[in-house]
Amino acid sequence: GVVGTMTMEKGAGIPAGIAAGILTGAMCGLTNGFLTTRLRINPFIVTLGMLLIVRGAALIVTNGMPIHSVPRGFAYLGEGSLVGVPFVLVHVLLERTKMGRYAFAIGSNPDAAYYAGIPVKFHTTAVYATCGLLTGLAGMIESSRLMTGQPTAGQGYELPAIAAVVIGGGSLRGGEGGVVGTLIGAFIMGLLSNGCDLLGIQPFVQQAIIGAVIILAVSVDELRKRQAV
Protein backbone atom coordinates (compact mmCIF):
# COMPACT_ATOMS: atom_id res chain seq x y z
CA GLY A 1 0.00 0.00 0.00
CA VAL A 2 2.84 2.40 0.81
CA VAL A 3 4.67 1.66 -2.44
CA GLY A 4 1.51 2.07 -4.52
CA THR A 5 0.46 5.35 -2.95
CA MET A 6 4.01 6.71 -3.14
CA THR A 7 4.04 5.86 -6.84
CA MET A 8 0.82 7.84 -7.35
CA GLU A 9 2.11 10.68 -5.18
CA LYS A 10 5.11 11.06 -7.50
CA GLY A 11 2.80 11.67 -10.46
CA ALA A 12 2.24 8.22 -11.89
CA GLY A 13 -1.33 7.27 -12.76
CA ILE A 14 -3.69 5.17 -10.70
CA PRO A 15 -3.12 1.98 -12.74
CA ALA A 16 0.64 2.38 -12.34
CA GLY A 17 0.28 2.83 -8.59
CA ILE A 18 -1.94 -0.23 -8.24
CA ALA A 19 0.45 -2.26 -10.38
CA ALA A 20 3.41 -1.11 -8.28
CA GLY A 21 1.71 -2.24 -5.08
CA ILE A 22 0.70 -5.60 -6.51
CA LEU A 23 4.16 -6.27 -7.97
CA THR A 24 5.78 -5.36 -4.66
CA GLY A 25 3.67 -8.00 -2.94
CA ALA A 26 4.51 -10.53 -5.65
CA MET A 27 8.23 -9.88 -5.24
CA CYS A 28 8.00 -10.36 -1.47
CA GLY A 29 6.15 -13.63 -2.02
CA LEU A 30 8.69 -14.74 -4.62
CA THR A 31 11.51 -14.01 -2.17
CA ASN A 32 9.75 -16.06 0.51
CA GLY A 33 9.37 -18.94 -1.90
CA PHE A 34 13.01 -18.79 -2.94
CA LEU A 35 14.27 -18.76 0.64
CA THR A 36 11.95 -21.61 1.58
CA THR A 37 12.62 -23.92 -1.34
CA ARG A 38 16.20 -23.13 -2.36
CA LEU A 39 17.80 -22.38 1.01
CA ARG A 40 15.42 -24.71 2.88
CA ILE A 41 14.73 -22.24 5.67
CA ASN A 42 11.70 -22.96 7.83
CA PRO A 43 8.66 -21.30 6.19
CA PHE A 44 7.45 -19.84 9.50
CA ILE A 45 10.80 -18.13 10.07
CA VAL A 46 10.97 -16.86 6.49
CA THR A 47 7.49 -15.35 6.46
CA LEU A 48 7.83 -13.90 9.95
CA GLY A 49 11.18 -12.34 9.05
CA MET A 50 9.78 -10.89 5.82
CA LEU A 51 6.83 -9.48 7.74
CA LEU A 52 9.17 -7.59 10.07
CA ILE A 53 11.44 -6.44 7.22
CA VAL A 54 8.56 -5.05 5.15
CA ARG A 55 6.93 -3.33 8.11
CA GLY A 56 10.24 -1.77 9.08
CA ALA A 57 10.92 -0.66 5.50
CA ALA A 58 7.46 0.95 5.26
CA LEU A 59 8.15 2.96 8.42
CA ILE A 60 11.61 3.95 7.21
CA VAL A 61 10.58 5.27 3.79
CA THR A 62 7.62 7.20 5.21
CA ASN A 63 9.24 8.31 8.48
CA GLY A 64 6.22 6.77 10.15
CA MET A 65 3.84 9.23 8.47
CA PRO A 66 0.90 8.30 6.21
CA ILE A 67 0.86 9.28 2.54
CA HIS A 68 -2.13 11.49 1.77
CA SER A 69 -1.53 12.77 -1.77
CA VAL A 70 -3.46 10.19 -3.77
CA PRO A 71 -5.88 10.84 -6.68
CA ARG A 72 -9.58 10.87 -5.86
CA GLY A 73 -10.31 8.24 -8.47
CA PHE A 74 -8.25 5.75 -6.47
CA ALA A 75 -11.22 5.35 -4.10
CA TYR A 76 -12.95 3.19 -6.73
CA LEU A 77 -10.77 0.18 -5.91
CA GLY A 78 -11.98 0.04 -2.31
CA GLU A 79 -15.69 0.53 -3.03
CA GLY A 80 -16.34 -3.19 -3.43
CA SER A 81 -17.24 -3.11 -7.13
CA LEU A 82 -14.55 -5.66 -7.99
CA VAL A 83 -14.70 -7.63 -4.76
CA GLY A 84 -15.79 -10.90 -6.35
CA VAL A 85 -13.16 -11.00 -9.09
CA PRO A 86 -10.15 -12.12 -6.98
CA PHE A 87 -12.23 -14.82 -5.27
CA VAL A 88 -13.43 -16.25 -8.59
CA LEU A 89 -9.94 -16.19 -10.11
CA VAL A 90 -8.33 -17.93 -7.14
CA HIS A 91 -11.15 -20.50 -7.00
CA VAL A 92 -10.60 -21.34 -10.66
CA LEU A 93 -6.83 -21.44 -10.09
CA LEU A 94 -7.14 -23.93 -7.24
CA GLU A 95 -9.88 -26.13 -8.64
CA ARG A 96 -9.40 -26.07 -12.42
CA THR A 97 -5.68 -25.71 -13.12
CA LYS A 98 -2.59 -27.90 -12.87
CA MET A 99 -1.01 -25.45 -10.43
CA GLY A 100 -3.97 -25.80 -8.07
CA ARG A 101 -3.92 -29.60 -8.15
CA TYR A 102 -0.19 -29.60 -7.59
CA ALA A 103 -0.58 -27.18 -4.67
CA PHE A 104 -2.97 -29.56 -2.92
CA ALA A 105 -0.70 -32.52 -3.65
CA ILE A 106 2.37 -30.73 -2.29
CA GLY A 107 0.45 -29.59 0.77
CA SER A 108 -0.72 -33.12 1.50
CA ASN A 109 2.64 -34.83 1.09
CA PRO A 110 5.58 -33.05 -0.58
CA ASP A 111 7.68 -36.22 -0.71
CA ALA A 112 4.94 -38.18 -2.48
CA ALA A 113 4.41 -35.24 -4.84
CA TYR A 114 8.13 -35.22 -5.66
CA TYR A 115 8.22 -38.94 -6.45
CA ALA A 116 5.08 -38.50 -8.56
CA GLY A 117 7.08 -36.19 -10.82
CA ILE A 118 5.72 -32.84 -9.63
CA PRO A 119 8.30 -30.00 -9.68
CA VAL A 120 7.80 -29.27 -5.97
CA LYS A 121 10.24 -26.36 -5.63
CA PHE A 122 8.91 -24.53 -8.69
CA HIS A 123 5.25 -24.85 -7.77
CA THR A 124 5.85 -24.04 -4.10
CA THR A 125 7.62 -20.84 -5.14
CA ALA A 126 4.77 -20.06 -7.53
CA VAL A 127 2.24 -20.44 -4.70
CA TYR A 128 4.25 -18.08 -2.50
CA ALA A 129 4.47 -15.54 -5.34
CA THR A 130 0.72 -15.78 -5.98
CA CYS A 131 -0.04 -15.26 -2.29
CA GLY A 132 2.29 -12.26 -2.28
CA LEU A 133 0.54 -10.83 -5.35
CA LEU A 134 -2.85 -11.15 -3.66
CA THR A 135 -1.42 -9.58 -0.51
CA GLY A 136 -0.24 -6.64 -2.60
CA LEU A 137 -3.75 -6.32 -4.04
CA ALA A 138 -5.22 -6.43 -0.53
CA GLY A 139 -2.82 -3.69 0.54
CA MET A 140 -3.94 -1.48 -2.34
CA ILE A 141 -7.61 -2.12 -1.52
CA GLU A 142 -6.93 -1.15 2.10
CA SER A 143 -5.16 2.03 0.98
CA SER A 144 -8.05 2.83 -1.36
CA ARG A 145 -10.57 2.48 1.47
CA LEU A 146 -8.48 4.75 3.71
CA MET A 147 -7.36 7.01 0.82
CA THR A 148 -3.93 7.05 2.44
CA GLY A 149 -0.82 4.92 2.45
CA GLN A 150 -0.57 3.83 6.07
CA PRO A 151 2.82 2.31 7.02
CA THR A 152 1.16 0.60 10.00
CA ALA A 153 -1.83 -0.77 8.06
CA GLY A 154 -2.55 -4.46 8.47
CA GLN A 155 -1.12 -4.88 11.94
CA GLY A 156 -3.16 -7.40 13.89
CA TYR A 157 -4.67 -8.98 10.76
CA GLU A 158 -2.57 -12.14 11.01
CA LEU A 159 -4.55 -14.14 13.56
CA PRO A 160 -8.02 -13.32 12.17
CA ALA A 161 -6.78 -14.36 8.73
CA ILE A 162 -5.50 -17.69 10.08
CA ALA A 163 -8.74 -18.20 11.98
CA ALA A 164 -10.84 -17.52 8.87
CA VAL A 165 -8.91 -20.13 6.88
CA VAL A 166 -9.08 -22.80 9.60
CA ILE A 167 -12.76 -22.19 10.32
CA GLY A 168 -13.41 -22.39 6.59
CA GLY A 169 -12.01 -25.90 6.39
CA GLY A 170 -8.36 -25.22 5.65
CA SER A 171 -5.82 -27.40 7.42
CA LEU A 172 -2.66 -26.10 9.04
CA ARG A 173 -0.99 -29.30 7.83
CA GLY A 174 -1.78 -28.39 4.24
CA GLY A 175 -3.58 -30.17 1.44
CA GLU A 176 -7.10 -29.04 2.33
CA GLY A 177 -9.13 -25.89 1.97
CA GLY A 178 -10.73 -23.69 -0.63
CA VAL A 179 -11.81 -20.18 -1.47
CA VAL A 180 -15.50 -20.70 -0.66
CA GLY A 181 -14.75 -22.13 2.78
CA THR A 182 -12.27 -19.37 3.54
CA LEU A 183 -14.84 -16.76 2.50
CA ILE A 184 -17.37 -18.34 4.87
CA GLY A 185 -14.74 -18.36 7.62
CA ALA A 186 -14.10 -14.66 7.02
CA PHE A 187 -17.84 -13.95 7.29
CA ILE A 188 -17.94 -15.85 10.57
CA MET A 189 -15.01 -13.86 11.93
CA GLY A 190 -16.67 -10.61 10.86
CA LEU A 191 -19.93 -11.70 12.46
CA LEU A 192 -18.06 -12.56 15.64
CA SER A 193 -16.36 -9.17 15.74
CA ASN A 194 -19.54 -7.22 14.99
CA GLY A 195 -21.48 -9.30 17.53
CA CYS A 196 -18.93 -8.48 20.22
CA ASP A 197 -19.25 -4.78 19.37
CA LEU A 198 -23.06 -4.92 19.55
CA LEU A 199 -22.89 -6.72 22.89
CA GLY A 200 -20.53 -4.09 24.26
CA ILE A 201 -17.65 -6.50 24.79
CA GLN A 202 -14.32 -4.75 25.28
CA PRO A 203 -11.75 -4.98 22.44
CA PHE A 204 -9.27 -6.69 24.77
CA VAL A 205 -11.78 -9.43 25.46
CA GLN A 206 -12.45 -9.72 21.73
CA GLN A 207 -8.80 -10.60 21.15
CA ALA A 208 -9.04 -13.36 23.73
CA ILE A 209 -12.21 -14.66 22.06
CA ILE A 210 -10.50 -14.74 18.65
CA GLY A 211 -7.59 -16.65 20.16
CA ALA A 212 -9.99 -19.15 21.71
CA VAL A 213 -11.79 -19.56 18.38
CA ILE A 214 -8.47 -20.32 16.66
CA ILE A 215 -7.59 -22.99 19.23
CA LEU A 216 -11.09 -24.49 18.99
CA ALA A 217 -10.97 -24.58 15.19
CA VAL A 218 -7.54 -26.23 15.14
CA SER A 219 -8.67 -28.74 17.79
CA VAL A 220 -11.72 -29.68 15.73
CA ASP A 221 -9.49 -30.08 12.66
CA GLU A 222 -7.14 -32.40 14.57
CA LEU A 223 -10.01 -34.50 15.93
CA ARG A 224 -11.51 -34.79 12.49
CA LYS A 225 -8.23 -36.01 11.04
CA ARG A 226 -7.77 -38.59 13.79
CA GLN A 227 -11.25 -39.96 13.21
CA ALA A 228 -10.57 -40.17 9.50
CA VAL A 229 -7.46 -42.24 10.15
The residue-averaged pLDDT of 54-58 equals 94
pLDDT for residue 38: 92
Whether 224 has a pLDDT exceeding 80, the answer reads no
Enumerate residues 6+ apart whose C-beta is below 8 A from 30.
Answer: 125, 128, 129, 132
pTM for the whole structure? 0.86
Among 79, 76, 169, 170, CA closest to 131: 170
Among 12, 15, 10, CA closest to 140: 15
pLDDT for residue 147: 92
The 10s digit of each residue's pLDDT in 84-116 is 778 888 889 888 899 999 999 999 899 999 999
C-alpha pair distances (Å), 225 with each of 29, 68, 169, 212, 213 = 30, 49, 12, 20, 18
pLDDT for residue 51: 93
pLDDT for residue 229: 62
Looking at per-residue confidence, does 136 or 177 come out higher? 136
pLDDT for residue 209: 83
CA dist., res. 26 & res. 41, Å (int): 19
pLDDT for residue 14: 92
Q: What is the CA radius of gyration of the chain?
A: 19
CA dist., res. 139 & res. 7, Å (int): 14
Share of the chain above pLDDT 70, in %: 98
Among 153, 224, 160, 216, CA closest to 188: 160
Looking at per-residue confidence, does 27 or 157 come out higher? 27
